Amino acid sequence: MRLDKYLSQRLGVPRSESRRLAARGSVTVDGIICKKADTQLDEHTAAVCVDGRPLAGQYQQFVYIMLNKPEGVVSATRDGRDTTVTDLVAGDYPRRQLFPAGRLDKTSTGFVLLTDDGALAHDILAPGRHVEKEYLVTLDTPLTPEMSAGFAAGVTLADGQRLAPALAEPAGGDPCRVRVVLRQGVYHQIKRMFGVYGAGVNALHRCGIGGVALDAALAPGAYRELTEQEVETLRAAARR
């Protein structure tokens, strides 16, 4: 691979910038200053440094970020008023066009997947793919067997929309705490589903997407990249 292409991929900068870096003598290949942008190198074995610092990690075509969304942050890329989920990570990914693959309400918390892989996001969100999303919900009233049975059969919303079967089971401890698993993504879905039974939602936390659990070590507002294994798990869930 040409040096300027290699630098552009690894650093996420335009080729012109890579050529400038090389021309000013900032780049070494296997310990030797290399000013020629068209130098050919083996991208698997070459030791390339910029200003003495080795380039870390492999070039990633796409990034996949697990964010623990705090309350009050909106699931959007841009918003005139509120902080968005992409605002929270933008400092670390200035050149990536990241977007949330699926939304959480402003008042909800938990797992938001941020990525620039449009194909995977589409597959996760596509209604026909049925990727599971898991939530921990706190109701203003205890969960009843009627609610659980209604979720299992498929709730009909107040506007007549018939939803796919879903799971609502006691989360243990407090009878108002409920584990909900959905395979659909309808606006305000959980709040509207419980609303059919006259129950209000006091708190809603997404703890898993497609078999990938939100990392318990992530405080609200914290994020990390998914491991390769987690990306593979998501891909498999979206393929099913």
User: Rule CB under 6 A: which residues touch ligand URA?
Assistant: 104-105, 108, 188-191, 204
Provide the token pair at 209.
């997407």
∠ at Cα 91 (85, 95), nearest 5°? Answer: 95
156: helix, strand or coil: strand
**Which DSSP string do the residues of 161-184 spell out, in sequence order?**
PBPPP-EEEE-SSSTTEEEEEES-
Q: Which is nearer to ligand URA, 108 or 115 (CB)?
A: 108
Q: Which is nearer to ligand URA, 86 or 108 (CB)?
A: 108
Active-site amino acid positions: 105
- Tell me how far, at minimum, the Cβ of 1 lies from ligand URA, in Å: 44
Beta strands in 16-108 (DSSP E): 27-29, 32-33, 48-50, 53-54, 64-69, 99-100
Q: Look at phi and psi of residue 224 and say left if phi exceeds 0, alpha if psi is from -120 to 50, else beta.
A: beta
Q: Look at phi and psi of residue 151 and say left if phi exceeds 0, alpha if psi is from -120 to 50, else beta.
A: alpha
| C-beta neighbour count of 38 within 10 angstroms | 10
Beta strands in the chain (DSSP E): 27-29, 32-33, 48-50, 53-54, 64-69, 99-100, 109-115, 133-139, 167-170, 177-182, 201-209, 212-213, 223-225
Amino acid at 64: Y
Instruction: Find out whether 25 and 33 touch, Cβ atoms under 8 Å.
Output: yes
Q: Which is nearer to ligand URA, 18 or 189 (CB)?
A: 189
DSSP 8-state code for residue 84: B
- Tell me how far, at minimum, the Cβ of 194 lies from ligand URA, in Å: 8
Provide the token pair at 37.
């942008």
Q: Which is nearer to ligand URA, 20 or 192 (CB)?
A: 192
